[in-house]
Homo-oligomer: A and B are copies of this chain.
Amino acid sequence: MNTVNTINELREQVRAWKAEGLTIGLCPTMGYLHEGHASLMDASVKSCDRTVASVFVNPIQFGPNEDLATYPRDFESDCKLLEAHGVDLVFHPEPAEMYADDFCTFVDIDVLSKTLCGKTRPIHFRGVCTVITKLLNTVTPDKIFFGQKDAQQLAIIRRMVRDLNFNVEVIGCPIVREADGLAKSSRNTYLNPDERRAARILSRAVRLGQSIADEGERSSETLLAAMREKLASEPMADVEYVEVVNGENMQPVDTFREGDLVAMAVRIGGTRLIDNFTVGQPPIEFQEGQSNAD
C-alpha cells in the first residue's frame, strides 16, 4: 500500500492504472477509521481493480463552533486498517494542498441540504460537496463509496453526481453497529462511559421506529411521537431532530412509504450523534440491554 500527499502524485498513480485499463474505487474518509469505514473498503476492493482511500479532515465542512480542532486523528492506525482491508493507495493531504489561501470555489446544493442536519450545520454539505468534487476530479473513479449512516450526505452526493454529470457510480453501504446497537462513528470516542451507555437510546429508537413501520403504520406524526417518547426516556439525550423525509429529496413527508428516510440527531453530553433507517429495510439487530461500555 502506497501513501501520497499531493494531488499531482495521486493523479499520476491514477493515470498509470487507467493506462492499464484498471477500474478504480474511491472511499473518502476523515480518518480515525472503524469497521464502518472498513466495510466501504471491502465493498470497493471486491468490485474494483484498485481502491483509493482518502484520509482528510476536511476543514470547510466544519462550522465555526464545531469540532474541527478536536476531531480524532490516528493516521498510523488508519493505515494498518486500510492495508489489512486491501486498499492500494491512501491519499493523505495537508489542508494547504487542498485549499489555497485564496480558494473561493464551492459546490453547493439547495433543497436537500436545508433539512435534517442542514438546519444546524448550514455550511456542512457545501464543504462535503466541494471536497468530493475535488476528489472525483482527481481520481475519476468508476465507483465511490459512502456509508448509509450519513444518509443525508449520501442522498446529496447522489444528487450532485446526477446534476453535475459526474461519470461515477455512487454506492451506499449499510450502517455498521456496535454489539449494543450504537452506529459506529469516529465521534463515539468523545463519549465517557455514562454517555456511551446513554447513547444506546438512538438505536433503540431506530428499532422501535422500524417495528412500528413494519406493522403498517404510515403516519409520520404517529411514528415520530413514539420515537420521541423513546428518546425522551433517556435523561442524557437532547434531541436535535427526528424526522421522516422523502428518501431522494430529503423533504419532510406526512405519510411515509418504502424508501423514505427516518433520521435523527441527538446530543449525548457534548457529543452530537446521528442514526437512521430507511423504511422497508430489514430490522436492525443488536444485543438487548448490553453496552460495550458495560
Contact = CB atoms under 8 A, between A and B. Distances in A.
Interface of A: 7, 11, 100, 102-112, 129-130, 133-134, 137-138, 140, 159-160, 162-167, 249
Nearest to A139: B165
Contacts of A106: 107-110
A249 B108 CA distance: 21
Nearest to A15: B167
Looking at A104, A134, A162, A249, the one whose CB has the most chain B CB atoms below 10 A away is: A104
A143 to B, nearest CB: 16
11 contacts: A102-B249, A104-B111, A104-B159, A105-B108, A105-B164, A107-B164, A133-B164, A137-B165, A138-B165, A138-B167, A140-B167
Contacts of A111: 102, 104
A103 B134 contact: no
A133 B162 CA distance: 12
A162 B100 CA distance: 9
Contacts of A140: 140, 167
B165 A134 contact: yes
B163 A137 contact: no
A130 B106 CA distance: 10
B165 A7 contact: yes
B112 A137 contact: no
A105 B129 contact: yes
Nearest to A112: B104
B107 A107 contact: yes
B11 A130 contact: no
Nearest to A107: B107
A104 B163 contact: yes
A112 B111 CA distance: 26
Contacts of A110: 104-106
Nearest to A248: B102
Nearest to A102: B249
A159 B100 CA distance: 11
Contact of A163 (B100, B138, B166): B100
Contacts of A134: 163-165
A163 B107 contact: no
A163 B112 contact: no
A249 B165 CA distance: 28
A266 to B, nearest CB: 28
Sort A-B residue pairs by CB-CB distance and give the 6 closest, nearest first. Answer: A105-B163, A104-B110, A137-B165, A104-B111, A134-B165, A105-B109
Nearest to A160: B105
A78 to B, nearest CB: 23
